[in-house]
Amino acid sequence: MINPHGGPLVDRMVPHPEELDATLTTITLSRRSQSDLEMIATGACSPLTGFMSQQDYSSVVEEMRLANGSVWSIPITLPISAEQVSNLKGVEEATLSTESDGVIGKIQISDIYKPDKGREAEKVYLATDDKHPGVAALLSGGKYYVAGDIEVYQLPEHKHFGEYRMSPRQLRAVIEEKGWKSVVAFQTRNPIHRAHEYITKCALEMVDGLIIHPIVGETKSDDIPADVRMACYEAIIEHYYPHRHTILSVYPASMRYAGPREAIFHALTRKNYGCTHFIVGRDHAGVGSYYGTYDAQKIFENFNREELGIEPMFFEHAFYCKRTNSMATTKTSRAMDHEKVFLSGTKVREMLIAGVDLPEEFTRPEVSDILKKHYGGSN
């Protein structure tokens, strides 16, 4: 099986912790930090063992590499306020908590630093205005970062998708049990429409297994909620995917909407889950018009395949071609624009709110029905 990124699979879970010092300062984690904590603790962010030091942070922002030279594209940091910095002065460790769970872990503090968030926004998101959701989240967080290795006693409580929540170790075990030697991951934050179905099945023709791995961490407010998307994934897999070669499992990260940089991050973390290949399609992890259509594919040219350790699979913009009565891309079809069926997100929402069925050339009827119900369509 493919090796995790940078060495052995990290495991920061401590099931039976020693009694904690009641006087320790507590850091309450935001939703994004809870996702990051889970990704680190379970090994999804291997080789990270905690939140990034200033040295690693600076290297990632500027070079897309950790200080030791390993490829890494997204800073994984723990923001804190100036007031919290005062409380942590001279402190070697602090507890980590959530509002619903109480204390769930601890951080061994190695570093507290003030980042240049303007530079981070410019380099990581290629944007500096707060209309970009990733930049807005970055700028609204604490002005300082606290770094250090973590230990986690329990993961943040999850009320949904329990049967689909598999850690990297668990998903690797399932892949090994199935005997798959090559596995492709598909990252998604949207319901799977016919273009997605087409590229995932094209990819599956070249490997043993497909992991449909939707993100269920924090997303922007106008994205379709995870529970609605999961119902869509269940329906389309039930009726249209080969069950012997397909796994549905959720990915607990939060979206950054960092486009090209996030495509690299998504690939590296899927390697930790046991995947050998990763699908990079049109405008991967993009938002608005901040990134070029295929920028998320071009960024892979900055790294050789050996250091990435996972094989990216690049796909063109797919659509239903009325000329050939089949799914196609510009590589395989001579269709004119009026012969292509591809709907914008705005048009899809308008149709669903009006209670209009989405055309079967765009999405499967089972998915259309679920989405129409969510948007309150009247017909």
Assign 266 a pLDDT band (cuts: 50, 70, 90).
Answer: very high
Listing DSSP states for 218-259 in one string gives ---TTSPPHHHHHHHHHHHHHHHS-GGGEEE--B-PPP---T
248 shares a domain with 110: no
Give the pLDDT confidence of 33-58 residue by residue, as tens digits: 999 999 999 999 999 999 999 999 99
229 shares a domain with 271: yes
Q: 189, 194, 229, 256: which is the annotated catalytic residue? A: 189
Look at 170-174, 282-286, 339-343 and tell me which has the smallest mean pLDDT.
339-343
Which stretches within the chain are classed as H helix? Answer: 31-41, 54-63, 82-88, 117-120, 133-140, 168-178, 194-204, 226-240, 260-272, 295-298, 305-308, 345-353, 365-374
302 shares a domain with 170: yes
Give the pLDDT confidence of 60-94 residue by residue, as tens digits: 999 999 999 999 999 999 999 999 999 998 899 99
317 shares a domain with 190: yes
Residue 338 CA, chain-centre distance (Å), reads 34
260 shares a domain with 345: yes
Percent share of the chain, pLDDT over 70: 99
Tell me what pLDDT residue 207 has: 98
Cis peptide before 47 (omega within 30 of 0): yes
131 shares a domain with 276: no
Domain assignment present for 360: yes
207 shares a domain with 137: no
Query: Beta strand pairing status for 93-98 and 78-80?
Result: unpaired
Tell me what pLDDT residue 159 has: 87
User: At CA 343, angle to CA 337 and CA 347, rounded to 5?
Assistant: 125
270 shares a domain with 188: yes
Question: Of 152, 170, 200, which marks where a domain is finished?
Answer: 152
Residue 334's CATH number: 3.40.50.620
Domain assignment present for 8: no
Tell me what pLDDT residue 345 has: 75
Domain assignment present for 17: no
Question: Of 152, 187, 220, which marks where a domain is finished?
Answer: 152
Tell me what pLDDT residue 377 has: 63
Domain assignment present for 11: no
Whole-number Å distance between alpha carbons of 248 and 233:
8
Up-side HSE of residue 68: CA atoms within 13 Å toward CB?
9
Q: 31, 190, 282, 349: which is the annotated catalytic residue? A: 190
pTM of the model: 0.95
Q: Select, from the ranges 2-6, 13-17, 99-103, the one with the highest average predicted confidence (pLDDT).
A: 2-6
Which residues on neighbouring strands pair with residue 27, listed in sequence order?
Answer: 96
250: tokens are 């959720």
Residue 256 lies in domain: 162-374
331 shares a domain with 195: yes
Question: Of 152, 181, 210, which marks where a domain is finished?
Answer: 152
Residue 75's CATH number: 3.10.400.10
Domain assignment present for 16: no
217 shares a domain with 333: yes
Annotated catalytic, 190? yes
135 shares a domain with 214: no
Mean pLDDT computed over every residue of the chain: 95
Domain assignment present for 65: yes
125 shares a domain with 240: no
pLDDT at 115 over 60: yes
Domain assignment present for 379: no
Domain assignment present for 10: no
Whole-number Å distance between alpha carbons of 377 and 166:
34
pLDDT at 200 over 60: yes
pLDDT at 175 over 60: yes
Number of domains in the chain: 2
